[in-house]
Amino acid sequence: MKEVEKLVVNKNRKIEIMGNRSGLKFLGKVCLGLSELTDEEAKTPANHYHFEEDTDSASQEGSIPMMVTLNLKM
């Protein structure tokens, strides 16, 4: 079963994330994990996570790709 079920831009041009409980918990764990990176780790490729079709965390067919990134400059 896919972790995050669907990432879409809805009719109001807003990003909508649809998932079951497990999928939403997974998204939360991804965000928490990124937030806990050290400043040095944040300067490496470990500073982001991809949600895309055809990956282990893939969304359902028709989903838009999404990348969640830790940005130290914000």
In 3D space, the residue among 5, 53, 47 whose CA is nearest the CA of residue 26 turns out to be 5
Count of CB atoms situated within 10 Å of the CB of 52:
14
Count of CB atoms situated within 10 Å of the CB of 23:
20
pLDDT in tens, 28-61: 999 999 999 999 999 999 999 988 777 655 566 7
The structure's pTM equals 0.79
Sketch the domain layout of the chain as residue ranges: 6-69
Q: Is the pLDDT of residue 70 over 90?
A: yes
